């Protein structure tokens, strides 16, 4: 290949198991509002569309609908709490760093394209010692658009110095598959993430059950990318 393949990752539920800290922050807001906490097992699939949507889903699960101004206040409180407690229990998925090492040896570079806010994404990856692995870390506020809008994926690839014709998206949910499809980028689905629709039903180009499977999945896309 004339240039390195750019592999773009979703963050929550793909790179990092962030559910424990996100749901802790959600429950902080719910309990302060006099509502019962949600169990992690049932709330984890509410993750993936950003803080505001997570709060909306959590409130709806408790039968509470709030107006825009109150939602703004609750979202700000959620972000404040989460930002201070962002990596208490969040950890990279098993096998991630070995997979990144193997792919880097093959000339790949990496970027993050997430619906999380950019500063929260960078803070999380900083605290986990992962930021230095990524040529670009872009969130829903970086370009003013969120997945599944393909613009955020295209601009993330450009910011990383990559070529969209040699890029791959890796994600765990419909927003990732949707952004990739609309951008014309092949997509690898992770079965271990957060989604209310099983990722297999969204027909990604490759499917992995563990990060150790990622290098082989990327390699399987090579003929498509090389046009051979």
Catalytic residue numbers, as ranges: 10
* Structure-token pair, residue 144: 């003013």
What span, in angstroms and rounded, lies between the C-alpha atoms of 22 and 32? Answer: 16
Backbone angles phi, psi at 188, to 5 degrees: -110, 125
CB 170 within 8 A of CB 145: no
CB 102 within 8 A of CB 114: no
* Structure-token pair, residue 36: 């019962």
What span, in angstroms and rounded, lies between the C-alpha atoms of 138 and 132? Answer: 14
């Amino acid at each position: 290949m004339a240039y390195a393949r750019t592999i773009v990752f979703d963050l929550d539920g793909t790179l990092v198991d962030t559910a424990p800290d996100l749901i802790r922050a959600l429950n902080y807001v719910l309990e302060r509002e006099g509502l019962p906490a949600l169990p992690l097992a049932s709330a984890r699939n509410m993750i993936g569309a950003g803080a505001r949507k997570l709060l909306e889903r959590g409130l709806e699960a408790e039968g509470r609908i709030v107006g825009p101004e109150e939602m703004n206040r609750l979202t700000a409180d959620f972000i404040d709490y989460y930002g201070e407690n962002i990596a208490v229990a969040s950890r990279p998925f098993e096998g991630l760093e070995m997979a990144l090492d193997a792919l880097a040896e093959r000339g790949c570079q990496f970027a993050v394209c997430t619906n999380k806010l950019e500063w929260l994404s960078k803070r999380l990856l900083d605290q986990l010692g992962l930021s230095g692995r990524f040529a670009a870390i872009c969130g829903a506020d970086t370009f003013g658009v969120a997945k599944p809008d393909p613009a955020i994926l295209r601009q993330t690839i450009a910011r990383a110095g990559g070529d969209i014709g040699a890029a791959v998206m890796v994600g765990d949910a419909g927003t990732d598959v949707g952004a990739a499809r609309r951008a014309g980028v092949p997509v690898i689905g992770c079965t271990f993430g957060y989604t209310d629709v099983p990722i297999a039903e969204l027909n990604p180009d490759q499917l992995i059950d563990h990060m150790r499977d990622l290098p082989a999945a990327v390699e399987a896309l090579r003929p498509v990318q090389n046009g051979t």
